Structure 1
Amino acid sequence: MTAALVVFALTYVAVAAGRFPLLSVDRPAAALLGAVLMVAARVLTPAQAGAAVNGDTLGLLLGMMILTAYLGEAGFFRWASWRVIRAAGTPRTLLWGLVFTAGGLSALLVNDTVCLMMTPLVLRIIDDAELPPIPYLLAVAFGSNAGSVATLTGNPQNMIIGTLSGISYARFAAALVAPAAASLVLVAAILHAIFRRHLPRRALATALPEPELDRRLLAKALAALGIALGGFLLGFALSWTSLFAGALCMAVAGRAPREALQRVDWPLLVFFAGLFVVVAGVGEAGVAGRMYDAVAPALGRTAERQALVFGAFSVAASQVVSNVPFVILAGHWIPRLADPRLLWLATALSATLAGNLTVVGSVANIIVLELAGSRGRIGFWRFFRIGAAVTAATLVAGLGLLLLERRLGLL
């Protein structure tokens, strides 16, 4: 048990910090090193380590990344952002439009990629129209996080929850679309209220040209995405449906697949695989069980109390070790609770909305602000004050709606 606990602690410290003192490792490398040490310390056998890697989660993520890569190559994200900018009459309507566009796209595709594709065009319109950058950058980041709550394919932690819980795509979406929609409204309203003095009432002036769009490739990529979504709703296996759609898109795209495959975030897949092994090690050694025993008394006995307390715990833990590692670890605890389905849904909601609390709370935040460079500079505490208002409001509304759905027998 001691060896498992030491490896687990070192891995999670490295994941939380993003690096490890004196070693040239980042988060994916730390997770991989932790997995190897679990085997080297004989906590797990090589066969047990291999079996611990959840291929369904990795397959689902890989397939969605391939589809997203082809949509990006076709120019879809640039075009969608341009349409929103063109339709927005004023800087204030632009703020609302960006929140709902980022959220809507993130409900269907992986939110990190949506931020990666949207941010450059948003920066251009900010420069052309001489608008303050922070409100619009936060609109993209916060909107993508809130919108990604809605479906199992919206973000990586939801994908993990889908494969670990067995909740179908349709049932998950039916439960969380309303909380996600309410969260988007609150995100836009709170940002509008906070930055209203910085958002001029004048007409939005910009001469942004229409981005080039590869219509043939876009049609093929959208058709493949439609096949994937149809398969999800019909109850086919998430991973194989996603991989089938991605492979089909590669086959018919009419261009070398290497370009699309180079856009896949392979380090993220390594990160997931390593974490699955590390968490399996603490489970095999009994560490996860003892951790659960330590927190169980605070959870209470009723499903509603457990959802609220565990939701708050998810927010705190997601700031410390990030939401993906926390969700994988929570997979050892949630089956023991009063209503596992409710707890999985509450965890998906809470761990995702927790990303809006701090700058490092989600990868989406980091992507947007890093791409913005000097225009995205915002102090930790300023971000925290804004993020705290957004996170608190969306969590209260989201968990409230989720518990109401349970009372009405809709879950």
Structure 2
Amino acid sequence: MDNIVVALFALTYLGMAAGRIPGLKMDRTGIALVAAVVVVAIGVLPREKLADAVHFPTLLLLAGLMVLSARFGAAGIYERVTIWIARRTEKPIQLLGLTVFVGGGLSAVLVNDIVVFAMTPLLCVSVASRGLDARPYLFGLAAASNAGSAATLIGNPHNIIIGQVGNLDFWDYAIFAALPTGVALVVVFLCILLVWRKSLSKDVRPVELELPPLNVAETAFCVVALALLLVLFATPLPREISALLVAGGLMLSRKIPSRRLLDEIDAPLLILFASLFVVNAAFATTGIPQMAATRLADTGISISSILILPFVSLVASNTIGNVPAVMILLEAWPILDGKTLTALAIFSTLAGNLLLVGSLVNIIVAERALVHGVRLTFADHARAGIPITLSTMLFAGLWLWCWGYSGF
């Protein structure tokens, strides 16, 4: 039976790396779900153990944050912000700067996948209307959303997992991650500026973009809700309960149907998480993760080493993806201390900028841009992505080392 589980585990994560099965219309979620169903059906993981395998607080927190972000979208905030960026700039460099820092800032407090999903089409249209090459701005948005999301434990899905499973303090993490995240955003801006300097030296075509009317009440409601959520994160109330309370309050509207907000919940992403939790739990029953951890420890190699963890994060995030990578590491090393989990959250996030397939954000931006006629290639992404990733991870490693983290 163990051989079957190992084979299913390997095939599942090969699917995570490839993103599909050749000849079939199956994506990562479909692959993980089928694998999870099989391990339960053959009795490797009994039905009564499913509740223990799936980390429901993580799923509930992510769902609550999706409702919050959906309300921001329904209030027209993403649309206004994107068009405001385009209207406020007279030079391409200014447009890039605002795209990077506003996109990164939003991704720190709202799930970055949803931020880029909303902003990418608007950015394509507004940039094209000014006669500019949209690619550097889209790469800037993707890289900044990845980097900015490292600032908090709610910025991206894998940080949510790390924060929930490791029970990390929200504000302690945010304070610690503020400097490396801020530096990362500056690096994103400078690298994009250097790599795409020819495209960014073109003259801007003057155009009058119509700014949608500001709904003061709706905007204020969303901002207050976000502020309340951040305050609740400083209380003993579990983060998932805080998020669900705020999400429930945001559904109290006479204009926006609750169904519209619930439709914005990315159910496939939640199913992917739940399925991977099940597959990983089944793999743990073989004893292989524990054996691997023990043998590495016997050879003097520590996964939490400041030299090993960045390398593992970089390779795993750009092969199977940062979410599956984090879930495997947490399954194999379930007793990682708070410092190591903090380092993992930062490194696994910054590693997502290396290649186009390194994070879901990159893929979302590429797919949404293609609909609007803008093709983002693997090579174009790597030109800026490689120096951005290596330099930001190096600084983050030095920052962790300065604060006494070595992991040895």
Alpha-carbon separation, structure 1, partners of 2:405 and 2:345: 19
Q: CA shift at 1:24, angstroms?
A: 3.8
Q: CA shift at 1:301, angstroms?
A: 5.4
- Matched with 2:244 is 243
Q: Can you give the 5+ residue segments of structure 1 that lack an aligned partner in the other structure?
A: none
- Matched with 1:67 is 68
Which of 347, 361, 366 is the matching residue for 1:350? Answer: 347
* Equivalent pair of 1:176/1:402 in contact (CA under 8 Å): no
Q: 1:325 to 1:141 in 2, by over 3 A?
A: same
Q: CA shift at 1:253, angstroms?
A: 5.7
> In the alignment, is residue 366 of structure 1 matched against residue 370 of structure 2?
no
Give, as a single letter, the amino acid of the residue that structure 2 aligns with 1:363. L
Matches within 5 A, 1:373-388: 373=370, 375-388=373-386
SS at match of 1:320: coil
Q: 1:302 to 1:262 in 2, by over 3 A?
A: closer
Alpha-carbon separation, structure 2, partners of 1:13 and 1:117: 30
Q: CA shift at 1:262, angstroms?
A: 0.8
Q: Give deviations 1:93-141, integer Å, cap 9, x for gaps.
A: 1111111011000000000111011112211221121111111110100
Q: After the TM superposition, which of the residue ranges 74-83 and 58-67 deviates more from structure 2?
A: 74-83
Alpha-carbon separation, structure 1, partners of 2:87 and 2:154: 28
* Equivalent pair of 1:175/1:405 in contact (CA under 8 Å): no
- Matched with 1:281 is 282
Q: CA shift at 1:48, angstroms?
A: 1.1
Q: Can you give the 5+ residue segments of structure 2 that lack an aligned partner in the other structure?
A: none
* Equivalent pair of 1:217/1:253 in contact (CA under 8 Å): no
* Equivalent pair of 1:88/1:204 in contact (CA under 8 Å): no
Q: Give deviations 1:44-75, integer Å, cap 9, x for gaps.
A: 11111222111110010000000100110110
Alpha-carbon separation, structure 1, partners of 2:41 and 2:158: 28
Q: 1:176 to 1:256 in 2, by over 3 A?
A: same
Q: After the TM superposition, which of the residue ranges 83-92 and 265-274 deviates more from structure 2?
A: 83-92
SS at match of 2:318: helix
Q: Give deviations 1:296-351, integer Å, cap 9, x for gaps.
A: 46774596xx13311211110111111111111111344455xx222111111111
> In the alignment, is residue 312 of structure 1 matched against residue 292 of structure 2?
no
Q: After the TM superposition, which of the residue ranges 322-331 and 214-223 deviates more from structure 2?
A: 214-223
Q: CA shift at 1:401, angstroms?
A: 1.5
Q: CA shift at 1:22, angstroms?
A: 4.8
Q: 1:131 to 1:161 in 2, by over 3 A?
A: same
Q: After the TM superposition, which of the residue ranges 353-362 and 61-70 deviates more from structure 2?
A: 353-362
- Matched with 1:164 is 165
- Matched with 1:322 is 321
SS at match of 1:20: coil
Q: 1:302 to 1:218 in 2, by over 3 A?
A: closer
* Equivalent pair of 2:92/2:204 in contact (CA under 8 Å): yes
Q: After the TM superposition, which of the residue ranges 7-16 and 239-248 deviates more from structure 2?
A: 7-16
SS at match of 2:87: helix
Alpha-carbon separation, structure 1, partners of 2:85 and 2:382: 28
Q: CA shift at 1:265, angstroms?
A: 0.4
SS at match of 2:201: coil
Give the number of the structure whose residues are more often helix, by fraction: 1
Q: After the TM superposition, which of the residue ranges 326-335 and 163-172 deviates more from structure 2?
A: 326-335
Q: 1:131 to 1:23 in 2, by over 3 A?
A: closer
**Aligned-pair identity (%):** 35
Give, as a single letter, the amino acid of the residue that structure 2 aligns with 1:82. I
* Equivalent pair of 2:306/2:405 in contact (CA under 8 Å): no
Alpha-carbon separation, structure 2, partners of 1:295 and 1:318: 21
Q: After the TM superposition, which of the residue ranges 285-294 and 318-327 deviates more from structure 2?
A: 285-294
Alpha-carbon separation, structure 1, partners of 2:108 and 2:189: 16
Q: Give deviations 1:352-371, integer Å, cap 9, x for gaps.
A: 11111111111111111212
* Equivalent pair of 1:43/1:285 in contact (CA under 8 Å): no
